[in-house]
Amino acid sequence: QLPKQVQIKEVGPRDGLQNEMMFIPTDDKVNLVNQLSETGLSYIEVTSFVHPKWIPQLADAVEVLKEMKRNTDVTYAALVPNSKGLERAIQADVDDVSVFMSASEGHNKSNINKSIDETFPVLKEVVDGALAAGKTVRGYISTVIACPYDGYTKPEQVVYVAEKLFDMGISEISLGDTIGVGVPTQVDALLHEMLRHFSAEKLAMHFHDTRGTALANIMTSLAHGITKFDSAIGGLGGCPYAKGASGNVATEDLLYLLHEMGIETGVNLEKIQKTALYMEGIVGKKLSSKLVAIARGEEGTCRI
Ligand code: HMG
Ligand code: MG
């Protein structure tokens, strides 16, 4: 029995744009978020408050949040790695703070310059500060299937990190297949283990689509009762500190799959397709999703 309703968490402005080679002008980012805000999405991850030397693409985080038009039906989120980032996030009045770390040592070190055990106290400070400031807090665990440095990740290691994060008072954890290599049997094994410890409502899935398996992995997750999925407009995305990682599952392709199966999202697919076309103009290249190709007029005789 598949869920009747799913929430999509749009991460394109953050996960998508952090991985583009060029700096997208602030006005274009603001336009993107403004368009996404009118599509029926209830959650948009706008940017991140990481060190601008590590991710120069998102150095204008405060400006984007200040200049964009807020829709009161939308929760606006941003990644925050430490207290320094939290100060800026609070200054920019973000609604939801997302802390992040990896299940594997290699990626954690490469991405945030700390061991796993050194990371917990840093995140605890962020979570305490964010909750005290009235924010909700989400946690990401990256490399839940495999790590570009350490190989396959054991589900028990993901449980270990998740337990520590939930103990801090985080409301939801998003499990990331950061390098997009996972297959349904691996997702099945991971969720089987995770759901012995945590309820499905507290978990979201975050699939990159490097090997074209993201939608298959989402089907497996749906069968486990997961109802929250991260995706990126146009299939943009990737982590500069995970070599070979490509884009997230595309929001429009995910919407097509869900809607055709009768699963509600509240998101307007046509508006998302239009926004994906707009993004092609901004990043100056064709985006990889199937549904943006259709919006471009390449549907041939396949239109229904
Ligand atoms: P560090 O160099 O170890 O930081 O970086 P530090 O604490 O030693 O501080 C060094 C200097 O940086 C200090 O300045 C700090 O003030 C400053 P100084 O005193 O030398 O003048 N600093 C900052 N400045 C601005 N904003 C900050 C900040 N923090 C310290 N927040 C750090 C540690 C975590 C900051 C760095 O490694 C970093 O920014 N990493 C972020 C990498 C990143 O953004 N990766 C992509 C996002 S994660 C992802 O994509 C995966 C995900 O999508 C899920 C999935 O797919 O699996 C979420
Ligand atoms: Mg990601």
* Whether the CB of 241 sits within 6 Å of ligand 1: yes
At 238 the pLDDT is 85
From the CA of 266, how far away is ligand 1's center (Å)?
A: 34
- Closest residue (by CA) to atom 28 of ligand 1? 51
**Residues contacting 48, CB < 8 A, separation 6+:** 14, 18, 55, 58, 61, 78, 79, 80, 81, 85
* Whether the CB of 166 sits within 6 Å of ligand 1: no
From the CA of 93, how far away is ligand 2's center (Å)?
A: 23
pLDDT by residue (tens digit) across 256-278? 999 999 999 999 999 999 999 99
pLDDT by residue (tens digit) across 27-65? 999 999 999 999 999 999 999 999 999 999 999 999 999
pLDDT by residue (tens digit) across 217-256? 999 999 999 999 999 999 998 888 887 788 999 999 999 9
Q: Which residues have a catalytic role annotated?
A: 239
Residue identified by tokens 């609604």 is 95
Q: Can you say how many angstroms the Cα of residue 286 is from the centroid of all Cα atoms in its chain?
A: 21
- Residues 99, 137 contacting (CB under 8 angstroms): yes
The answer to ipTM > 0.85 is yes
**Position 214 pLDDT exceeds 90:** yes
Residues with CB under 5 A from ligand 2 (ion): 15
Q: 203 — phi, psi (to 5°)?
A: -120, 145
Q: How confident is the model at residue 301 (pLDDT cuts 50, 70, 90)?
A: low
* Whether the CB of 81 sits within 6 Å of ligand 1: yes
Say which ligand is closest to the CA of 239: 1
CA distance 162 to 139: 9
- Residues 192, 221 contacting (CB under 8 angstroms): no
Q: Which atom of ligand 1 sits closest to the CA of residue 82? A: 31
- Closest residue (by CA) to atom 49 of ligand 1? 239
- The string of DSSP letters for 126-164 reads HHHHHHHTT-EEEEEEE-SSEETTTEEPPHHHHHHHHHH
From the CA of 81, how far away is ligand 1's center (Å)?
A: 6
* Whether the CB of 176 sits within 6 Å of ligand 1: yes
**The pair of three-digit structure tokens given for residue 263, joined into one six-digit string:** 């699963």
* Whether the CB of 207 sits within 6 Å of ligand 1: no
From the CA of 108, how far away is ligand 2's center (Å)?
A: 13
